[in-house]
Structure 1
Amino acid sequence: MSEAEIKRMITRHVLTVRSASGAPPRKVHYRRCGSGPVLLMVHQSPRSSAEYEALMHQWGAHFTCIAPDTPGFGQSDALPGKPEIADFADGLCEFLDALGVARCAAYGFHSGGIILVTAIKRQPQRFSCLAVGGYAIWTEEEMRIFGERYLPEWHPSAYGEHLTWLWHRMLEQSWVFPWFDTREEARLSVAHADIARVAQAVSEMLDAGNAYQAGYGAVLRAPRDIPAPESTVPPCLISAFDGDPLQAHIDRLGAMPQGWRAEKVRTPADHHATSLAFLQAHGGDGPCPDLAEDLDEGWLALDGGLIHWKGTRGGSLLLHSPAGEMVEQAPGELAIDVPGHGQSSDFEDIEGAVEAAAAALGASAIAWPEAPAGDPDRLYPDMTPDRFGNYLQRAWAVARAECFFAPWYAAGAANAIPLDPARLDPQALHRRARARIRAGDAARRWHDTLVARRRFDRRSI
């Protein structure tokens, strides 16, 4: 892969952050793309840094874009206790310290902007400038309504009812705002039924679970103020496009510090173009330094995508269990998310990608598992997201059935297996269903790969 191709590629990394407060170390997952000065990109809640992938490809021509998953979202560990917005802002600065970035430009959308404005008030020396997409200034009544209804408890239920709520919650948030307000006055002009967008948002909520309340709640409880007009802070642009429910809040901002401005724009593309121009004008802080990352977990960049790995380079390489989850490795061992599963990209040639990953990691051997018993045409029902979210219920139904029968689809006394209450725990069901959803049709292709390998091995004997 050429240097130019690597610069255009989004890579993924894990970094352990240690707090000066004495809190336990926590893992932060971040995406990187591009070259030039560092641009920190903070996503909205309850999303992850994945929402910035398209933007990172564009802005990476001008900046080294660094987009972390905020604590408790995506693949980042949550903050301890009941954190407030200052904890998220300080945690962001701790991440910059661990990364090796002393000062940078930053961009945040909605709640990502609130975290960044809080950070710029607490540690203004860390930033050269800030661009924000929509900044909320809630009234007391709006704060009361949001506090009561916006963040319900969200836990896996034994029979998957929570998935029905989740699909409609994420689908209808573009129809009305807030998502639970079904009055005509709450309708949005940007309503959509984009299956891919909804499925991505659902996937991110499946990752966060009820931890979404901590991060989202801290944002909603955050003081609704920007720095005082007399403050000495880096320049900032706040903009919002037509259809953004926070566009009306531009009129609520009031007096701002010198170098700060706010404007309404017509489209999301206009918002991005205006933000980029502002960041380019104020955000040149020199070349990107060498960025830190952990050495016992990461993503290999191979031709065709990324392979997620954990463990000790040079050890025996363990591959997925039949449930499609990364297996636990002992000291001296390696494990990967095989292509198309977990946090690894999909590859047309699954076996070739596994062998390339093993070679790149210096694996001493590959422990190929057996393919699950059963008819592959029935073992792997269609997990393609659909307009009504039915794929979520299919995954949950399989996760339950495989606790009763082997293969799971053969519901009869002859195929009954001993019941294990631990496997029927809703959290265990959640993990297996989520793994199946992530794998999609790659699960069947992985099965076929294992069957083909076994046939080849037998012919070779």
Structure 2
Amino acid sequence: MSSEICPDNLLVIITRHFLTIPATGRKVHYRRCGSGPLLLMVHQSPRSSAEYSDLMQRWGEHFTCLAPDTPGFGQSDPLPETNGHEPEIDEFADALAEFAAALGVSRCAAYGFHSGGIILVTALKRHPELFSCLAVGGYAIWSEAEIALFGERYLPEWHPAPYGEHLTWLWNRMLEQSWFFPWFDLRDEARLSVAHADVTRVNQAVMEMLDAGNAYRVGYGAVLRAPRDIPPVDGDVPPCLITAYDGDPLQAHIDRLGDMPEGWRAEKVSTPADHQAASLSFLKEHAGEALCPDLAEDANEGWLALDRGLIHWRGQRGGRLVLHPPAAEMGEPQAGEIAIDLPGHGLSDGFDDMRSAVLATADALVSGSIDWSSLPPGDPAELYPDLTPDRYGTHLVKAWSAARAEALFEPWYAADKDHAIPLDPAAIGLAAIARRARARLRAGKSAARWHAILAEQTP
């Protein structure tokens, strides 16, 4: 919460917030960092605002960087269907304007990469008064042949499978998207010069896909189907810079843009750093000097800023603090309760001293007691397998296997008749397994550390 962070820390700490749109009840999650004029940052699909974390901290010297999760991605609610039809690009653009209005923003600069740029250009055409300028990284102008090539293959249905086989597909899909474009086109002509096997980057993209689920097809599909037209030459629109670097598959599309409005220009640059430098310079030149207004946020859910990170909480301030077991999800708080994601779990940051972080959270948010939760039975060395991401994505399958067995045995690793538990159809359902697996993946090594703290806490 921005009100709980000292101004000196605003350039180095990214705060996180929820805002419920009053007219629709749709919840939007956004990140904030920095000070100065407001810069709205729209991420690409199927990612989340987390992809801008490093950039926000650098650009926070010049702007108040504000990055929402677009509908259906990250922690933001999806847009509803209308008359049985999935939302299209106009609805995503209008949702962005609706979010800005609910925040209290009337005009701002904006930046978007790839599909984020498509959403922004569409929003600019529909709501030109909202923007002082745009900077866009790569703007797609697909040919009919390219659209035909993509077809439905680019956005296949993606659902949990009983034994976690969907996770094998997901890992390799996200791994190889930097190798070929489109990702399924295994031809030398489709190879990318920016290929990598960076486990951290791949895992981040995988975790974001786990958040979106099959709903990724809605937001991503709306972008792919969007009309590829920029404002007319005589359009009365704010200035815009479009750049694309060597290795970006959209760099060739710079030549397809055609004539542009006054104040618009497009350039090819050499590196991602050149793209970011050119974008920042353009934004600083055209953003104006208006400072960011006080921004709205929900009162019943958010993040508490401590010295070393953020703790995600939900519920009613002042009551009893309820803690969930290690490697599990936050429970739903009842009246008079507040629940948190344990440090290193869920949407909370990791802390070296987890117990102190919980106690500091209790001091800040509650006036009642702490429900520490019960100590899970079993050997912690078995309960919490190593889920460190690896080159082959095997950590995903480990998490799924453990989450599935949790519905069958207690402790889950003791697969014999003496440890079998009654079957609960809800617990063995694929959605429930998927939630438990994601909770384990998010917790990682923090789960075993919290188990040790509980063991010390238990008489």
What TM-score, normalized by structure 1, do the two folds share? 0.97
Give the counterpart letter for 1:410 in structure 2: A
Do the aligned residues in 2 keep the contact of 1:229 with 1:256 (CA within 8 Å)? yes
The yes-or-no answer on 1:223 pairing with 2:244 is no
Give the counterpart letter for 1:244 in structure 2: D
Bigger mean CA offset, 221-230 vs 284-293: 284-293
1:51 counterpart residue number: 51
Q: 1:416 aligns with which of 395, 400, 420?
A: 420
Q: 1:17 aligns with which of 2, 15, 21?
A: 21
Bigger mean CA offset, 284-293 vs 84-93: 284-293
Do the aligned residues in 2 keep the contact of 1:107 with 1:130 (CA within 8 Å)? yes
1:377 counterpart residue number: 381
Do the aligned residues in 2 keep the contact of 1:130 with 1:236 (CA within 8 Å)? yes
1:106 counterpart residue number: 110
Correspondences of 1:213-252 after superposition (within 5 Å):
213-252=217-256
Partner deviation per Cα, 1:131-156 (whole Å, 9 max, x = no partner): 00000000112112223210000111
Secondary structure (helix, strand or coil) at the match of 2:411 reads coil
Bigger mean CA offset, 355-364 vs 86-95: 355-364
The yes-or-no answer on 1:191 pairing with 2:188 is no
Secondary structure (helix, strand or coil) at the match of 1:12 reads strand
Q: Distance in 2 between matches of 1:345 and 1:174?
A: 28
Q: 1:300 aligns with which of 286, 301, 304?
A: 304
Do the aligned residues in 1 keep the contact of 2:386 with 2:444 (CA within 8 Å)? yes
Q: Distance in 2 between matches of 1:317 and 1:442?
A: 20
Unaligned runs of at least 5 residues, structure 1: none
Q: 1:339 aligns with which of 330, 343, 358?
A: 343
2:33 counterpart residue number: 33
Deviation of the 1:322 alpha carbon = 4.9
Deviation of the 1:2 alpha carbon = 4.3
Partner deviation per Cα, 1:93-143 (whole Å, 9 max, x = no partner): 000000011000000000000000000000101000000000000011211
Do the aligned residues in 1 keep the contact of 2:327 with 2:345 (CA within 8 Å)? no
Deviation of the 1:176 alpha carbon = 0.2
2:332 counterpart residue number: 328
**How many aligned positions are there?**
451
Partner deviation per Cα, 1:201-246 (whole Å, 9 max, x = no partner): 0000000001101100000000011001110100000000000000
Q: Distance in 2 between matches of 1:171 and 1:139?
A: 26
Q: Distance in 2 between matches of 1:159 and 1:362?
A: 41
Partner deviation per Cα, 1:144-173 (whole Å, 9 max, x = no partner): 222321000011111111000000000000
Correspondences of 1:328-407 after superposition (within 5 Å):
328-407=332-411
The yes-or-no answer on 1:181 pairing with 2:185 is yes
Give the counterpart letter for 1:162 in structure 2: H
1:263 counterpart residue number: 267
* Runs of 4+ deviating beyond 4 Å: none
Q: Distance in 1 between matches of 2:279 and 2:183?
A: 27
Q: Distance in 2 between matches of 1:331 and 1:100?
A: 30
Bigger mean CA offset, 433-442 vs 136-145: 136-145
Q: 2:167 aligns with which of 163, 167, 175?
A: 163
Q: Distance in 2 between matches of 1:287 and 1:69?
A: 23
Q: Distance in 2 between matches of 1:10 and 1:404?
A: 40
Give the counterpart letter for 1:80 in structure 2: P
Deviation of the 1:285 alpha carbon = 4.0
Do the aligned residues in 2 keep the contact of 1:338 with 1:354 (CA within 8 Å)? yes
RMSD of aligned alpha carbons: 0.9
What TM-score, normalized by structure 2, do the two folds share? 0.97
Partner deviation per Cα, 1:60-118 (whole Å, 9 max, x = no partner): 00000000000000000000011000000000000000001100000000000000000
Do the aligned residues in 2 keep the contact of 1:128 with 1:285 (CA within 8 Å)? no
